[in-house]
Amino acid sequence: MNARQQNAWMTHGGGLDLLRAFFKDYNIHNIPAGNTGAQMGGWYRKEIKTVDDLKGLKFRIGSGMAGAVLAKLGVVPQTIAGGDIYPALEKGTIDAAEWVGPYDDEKLGFYKIAKYYYTPGWWEGQAQLSAYVNLGQFEALPKNYQAILTAACAEANSWMVGKYDSDNVAALRRLIANGTELRAFSKEILDACYNAAQEFYSETAAKNPKFKTVYDPWKKFLDDEHQWFRVVEQQFDDYMMSKRA
């Protein structure tokens, strides 16, 4: 989902109720509290033109699920903390790395050692963050305190999307001015990743009942959202982008 679809899923599509039921088993009360929007596909020391170019690629990626999907295509996922990515990329310990997007990536200086910056980060069409509160402690709070925390998280959720949508613009321009070469993943690569992802989700749902409980209604909601977005949102965006090409 993109950020708007995720918000719709959580607030009106039953997503929050499903996730609250999941986290209750771990004594957690979860509250959506931020979103980066769509993320970039990362920094690469060489161009990635075909699916074969992914084979053997040592790639720092933060998401365990995305790493599992990429592994199906021959990528060797690497879990590396943020502060350790630059030296690993500089020394050649890894071949590529993803972080967030221009605003955050610029601060870590990846453009100095890996000039190819790919889009999109298909594994994060949005990245919702949440506040996790001990369930017993949350329920012990006065109702007005619960409402204050929930409202603050909702404000952070909205503010953060705006922050990234605004600040990524100038950051990307600076990165390109400093020699970054922007590249788009080919349709061949995106299709291969999409198919690998669907395979992984099906495999996981077959053996993990908790995953399936959330995944099945999530998938149905996403399919419906895509039908609606194709009617107006995509039409509007495509036209406006074409006028600025």
Q: What is the pLDDT of residues 22-64, one digit of tens each?
A: 999 999 999 999 999 999 999 999 999 999 999 999 999 976 8
DSSP 184: E
Asked if the bond preceding 120 is cis, omega within 30° of 0, the reply is yes
Q: Which residues make beta-bridge pairs with 149? A: none
Span 168-215, pLDDT tens digits: 999 999 999 999 999 999 999 999 999 999 999 999 999 999 999 999
**Whether residue 230 has pLDDT greater than 70:** yes
- Checking if the pLDDT of 245 tops 90, the result is no
**What is residue 244's predicted lDDT score, i.e. its pLDDT?**
85
For the chain, give every domain's residue range: 33-208
Q: What is the pLDDT of residues 142-164, one digit of tens each?
A: 999 999 999 999 999 999 999 99
| Contact criterion met (CB below 8 Å) for 123 and 102 | no
- The SS3 assignment for 60 reads strand
Rounded to the nearest 5 degrees, what angle is found at the Cα of 220, between the Cα atoms of 218 and 223? 110
Tell me what percent of the residues of the chain surpass a pLDDT of 70. 99
Query: Under DSSP, is residue 2 helix (H, G, I), strand (E, B) or coil?
Result: coil
Within the chain, how many helices (H) and strands (E) appear?
10, 8
| pLDDT at residue 121, as a whole number | 96
Please tell me the CATH superfamily of domain 33-208, with its number: Periplasmic binding protein-like II (3.40.190.10)
pLDDT at 113 over 90: yes
- Averaged pLDDT for residues 226-232: 97
pLDDT at 63: 64
pLDDT attached to residue 62: 78
Q: Which amino acid is at 166?
A: S
Q: What does the pLDDT read at residue 169?
A: 98
Question: What pLDDT, on the 0 to 100 scale, is given for residue 64?
Answer: 84
